[in-house]
Amino acid sequence: MAWTPRLIFSLASIVLLLEMLAVSYMMISMALPSIAAHYQTTQGAWLITSFLLVGAVAAPLIGKLADMYGKRRALLACVAVAAVGSLVSAVAGSYAVLIAGRALTGLLVPCLFLSYSLIRDVFPPKTIALAVSIATSGMGLIAIPAPFLTGWLIDHFGFRSIFWFFVIGLVVLGALIFASTEESAVRLRSRIDLVGAVLLGAGVAGVLIAVSFGPTWGWTSTSTVAYLIGGAVLLLGWLASAAIIREPLINLEVLGKRSVLLTTLGAGLCYGASGLFTILLPMMAMTPAVFGLGYGFGVTAEGFAIFQAPVGLMVVVGGVIVGTLVGRNARPRNLLVVGMLLMATGFTLTAYIHDSKALLIVFAGIFGTGMGMGYAAIPNLLIAAVPPQLQASTASIVGVSQSVFPAVLPVIAFTVLNNSYIAPIPAQMTQGAVFYTDNGFAVAFLIGTATAVLGAVVAALLPRRIVQLEVPSTAEATPREAVAFAH
């Protein structure tokens, strides 16, 4: 069975949903000054942290529930809660209520792994590789018009219009997915491991809070150390409980397999590197050239679109390349290696040559191609390695890795920058903002290079031939014939 109008409609709905996840970060970042001024708060970081935190903490439990009760059901539930959260934020009378709504919207984060897990179960075998690749790599495309749309909404209707945009979009897309996408027939016979869910969720939360607020609180402050140590202890407690409990939240035997463990680590490195690049590039391009730092063009947020466009476009191209080649029996492992090396190339070239707009656009395109290949190769690796009954729960741990690494890597980079590379510019010229030396930016981009190279090494260590793991005895036999992958 090949592509049909309904399949195309289903895939388009899923891609647009994941685009909502991607654009969420950008829109909220652009609206943050207006929100902070309206509520007269200096705690703007919680607007982003609460979203990421709830998404990462809830992911493992949602993944297990999806394997047990249906992936479409879990996906639509997450969309519904995220829509309610956006509605709460849109009408919030206080900043605390706004944060609560934004936290609920964080259930968009699990939609990423739920989407490709659902595609794996309900799409025809010949379409899966390309569909998954398009779904996961298409997330960069909307970043091109997003700044213009966001600016128009805020300027004409205020910051609340951003949240109303999400309410309407999520309701419409939820209805489209409900109408066009079948439910998975694959089920896992298991129990909910509430102890494991609490330990893992609280542990991830502790680490993320420490990393997110460490630069503000101070790395040696009591709060930072307490959250970090407490999170680590809880994570160790989760590992101990998962080794004892008969039906743990995450099957450690599956997670410990070389193909799954290295994919999880590689996914974190890939998303961490991409997160760092997308933070550094606008900072570099938007720095006023008048400072004479050896970089910077003084472009506005809208003007930055000329640098963002090649990234978004080539992410999609990279994903299509992977989907097409995997469909022709290419190994996702090799494609992930190539993708990570392209990302490393983009980082390195940008580190040393960043005084030309044209060259930066080219380098951004190289990076975007690698980013798209990495984004698309990761789910294809998981689909090849993990049985359908454990697809969502195993992918949820990969999702946690994809959330934690992007939170940690920028902190490392900016810790280095703030300690050694602050440019000596008079405060009255910068209005209190911090700018970095040319060497500082070079170092920051080279940190990204090292991350991407490490990701390529991890990918190269994956088995040359990935064989799908055996289904545990607790899982039902799938009513659908398992898709044969042997890459």
CA distance 232 to 225: 11
For 131-161, b where at least 16 C-beta lie within 10 A, e where not — what string? bbbbbbbbbbbbbbebbebbeebbeeeebbb
- Mean pLDDT along residues 282-308: 82
- Mean pLDDT along residues 168-180: 96
pLDDT at 487 over 70: no
Contacts of 342 (CB under 8 A, 6+ apart): 318, 366, 367, 369, 370, 373
Task: Give the model's pLDDT for residue 229.
Answer: 96
CA distance 231 to 305: 39
Residue type, 437: T
CA distance 261 to 272: 17
Domain ranges of the chain: 5-192+249-460, 193-248
Contacts of 188 (CB under 8 A, 6+ apart): 64, 67, 68, 389, 390, 393, 474, 475, 476
431 confidence band (pLDDT: 50, 70, 90)? low
Least confident of 16-25, 351-360, 470-479: 470-479
With beta carbons less than 8 A apart as the criterion, state whether 487 and 331 touch. yes
With beta carbons less than 8 A apart as the criterion, state whether 473 and 388 touch. no
Least confident of 116-130, 413-427, 454-468: 413-427
pTM for this model (two decimals): 0.87
Give the tens place of pLDDT for each residue, 214-270.
888 888 899 999 999 999 999 999 999 988 888 888 888 888 899 999 999 999 999
Instruction: Report which DSSP code applies to 301.
Output: T
pLDDT at 322 over 50: yes
Number of neighbours of residue 222 by Cβ within 10 angstroms = 9
Instruction: Tell which wins on pLDDT, 71 or 468.
Output: 71
CA distance 425 to 432: 10
The H-or-E segment that residue 128 falls in is: helix 125-137
Task: Give the model's pLDDT for residue 182.
Answer: 92
CA distance 408 to 414: 10
CA distance 381 to 337: 12
Task: Give the model's pLDDT for residue 199.
Answer: 93
Q: Whose CA is closest to 340, among 442, 444, 460, 445? A: 460
Give the tens place of pLDDT for each residue, 366-393.
999 999 999 999 999 999 888 888 888 8
With beta carbons less than 8 A apart as the criterion, state whether 424 and 299 touch. no
Architecture per CATH, 5-192+249-460: Up-down Bundle (1.20)
CA distance 404 to 208: 7
Is 444 strand, coil or helix? helix
CA distances from 158 to 31, 113, 223, 252 (A): 9, 33, 35, 48
CA distances from 303 to 147, 152, 275, 286, 350 (A): 9, 14, 20, 9, 19
Task: Give the model's pLDDT for residue 486.
Answer: 36
Task: Give the model's pLDDT for residue 481.
Answer: 39
Find tokens 């039902």 and name the residue. Answer: 476
CA distance 454 to 451: 5
Task: Give the model's pLDDT for residue 32.
Answer: 80
- Mean pLDDT along residues 185-213: 88
